Amino acid sequence: MFVEQKKGLLIAFEGIDGTGKTTLALMLKERLEALGHSVVMFKEPTNETEAGKKIRSSYVEGRASLDIELQWFIEDREWNVTTRILPALAENKIVFLDRYFFSTACYQGVRKNNDWFSILELNRKKFPEPDLTIIFDLDVQLAIKRIMRDRSNANTFEGMQNLRDVRALFLEIFQLDTIGNYILINAEKSIEEIFELLYVKLQELIGKTPMKETSSKEEEKQEK
């Protein structure tokens, strides 16, 4: 397990595309900054490393082998963690990550006979565990509609069956992983409702000691 001394908070925003996680992260960042908190937000894969650029190119040019993809993600993440994340945490900042190693475990795990566990295990040896991982869950058909509405060129990672498989792995991680501190969000709720829910959750977290003592899971369910 990766061990580091940190002062700030690390929050991962996860889930399939089309769930609104990036929009919510930006809204929460703006609200917290208005209250005087120092918040930085990074996205994976990055645009700053050769590995990150190769990952992004593969979205449109065709997938590399699984082993190569995993190596690219590790290289890109090593740079991101060392250069940006750990220094920001050391300065007592709140770090938002738009995707982290949970996405790698799910998107690449689908190609590895749904083996998300070994990918998480590998990454946890190298990289810090988030203080909170927010998983945005959404029906795949609705996610596809949002993707097509908002983007003129949806990438090759976003096929219908692939998204179903990836979504299933995110839910498996939420249900079965005993290490992470997770909250599952029903992304069919209005953006305003989700925002207020997460704002309260983050305020609670900010008021506590950043380092986790126990693992906890919390699920927000859509009211019928």
Residue 196 belongs to a domain: yes
**Span of 103-107, 139-143, 150-154 with lowest mean pLDDT:** 150-154
pLDDT number for residue 221: 47
pLDDT number for residue 60: 83
Radius of gyration of the chain (CA): 17
Given a cut of 80, whether residue 130 has pLDDT beyond it is: yes
Print the domain residue range for 148.
Answer: 9-219
Residue 13 belongs to a domain: yes
Residue 191 belongs to a domain: yes
Domains in the chain, number: 1
Predicted confidence band at 151 (pLDDT cuts at 50, 70, 90)? low
Q: Where is 192: in which H helix or E strand?
A: helix 191-206
pLDDT number for residue 219: 54
Across the range 18-39, mean pLDDT stands at 97
Residue 111 belongs to a domain: yes
Side by side, the strands of the sheet bearing 132-137 are 39-43, 94-98, 9-15, 132-137, 182-186, 217-219
CA pair distance 219, 182, nearest whole angstrom: 8
Tens digit of each residue's pLDDT (9 = 90 or more) over 99-117: 999 999 999 999 999 999 9
Residue 137, token pair as written in the block: 């869950």
CATH of the domain at 199: 3.40.50.300
Across the range 182-193, mean pLDDT stands at 98
Residue 3 belongs to a domain: no
Predicted confidence band at 209 (pLDDT cuts at 50, 70, 90)? very low
Question: Among residues 219, 127, 125, 207, which one has the least CA distance to residue 171?
Answer: 219
Residue 1 belongs to a domain: no
Given a cut of 60, whether residue 210 has pLDDT beyond it is: no
Residue 19 belongs to a domain: yes
**Span of 26-40, 48-62, 207-221 with lowest mean pLDDT:** 207-221
Greater confidence (148 vs 66) lies with 66
Given a cut of 50, whether residue 213 has pLDDT beyond it is: no
